[in-house]
Amino acid sequence: QLQVVESGGGSVQPGGSLRLSCTATGGTLDKYFLGWFRQTPGKEREGIACVDRTGRSTNYHSSVKGRFTISRDNAKNTMYLQMNSLKPEDTAIYFCAVDGPLCEIGIGSKSDYMYWGQGTQVTVSS
């Protein structure tokens, strides 16, 4: 059974950077489209980025485009989210998601993905 675990969350000041990782066990990620989602209390989990199987094609939510970069290293069975110029409104629990829809078309919704990590907290505050 494929399982994924996120790491790299934490607290950072506005304008700072963090890099999240999502590592898989029990299977390989290379055959899947992958995504990053985030959720704040009382709100729906929203997709913010996705990447295709090779890493060449990506898609971003408008709120993070130009600041966040999604990437993957299939040899390490790991996906990343580099987050720069962080804002207080980026504060959320971040989740990695596996086996999503065709990333070139869109990130998709929570129900489109098969496997999920437990999430990692990112807090942006001065």
Q: Are 52 and 106 in contact (CB under 8 A)?
A: no
Please state the φ and ψ torsions of residue 89, each to the nearest 5 degrees.
Answer: -75, -5
Beta strands 78-83 and 18-25 are: antiparallel
Q: Kindly list the averaged pLDDT for each block of 10 residues, start to end, along the chain of length 126.
A: 97 98 96 97 96 97 98 97 98 97 94 97 97
Q: What is the largest CA-CA distance in the chain?
A: 40
Q: Which helix (H) or strand (E) holds 24?
A: strand 18-25
Residue 55: its pLDDT value, please?
Answer: 95
The Cβ-side half-sphere exposure at 35, using a 13 Å CA radius, reads 30
Q: CA angle, 116 as apex, 114 and 122 as ends, to 5°?
A: 145
Residue 90: its pLDDT value, please?
Answer: 98
Please state the φ and ψ torsions of residue 122, each to the nearest 5 degrees.
Answer: -120, 125
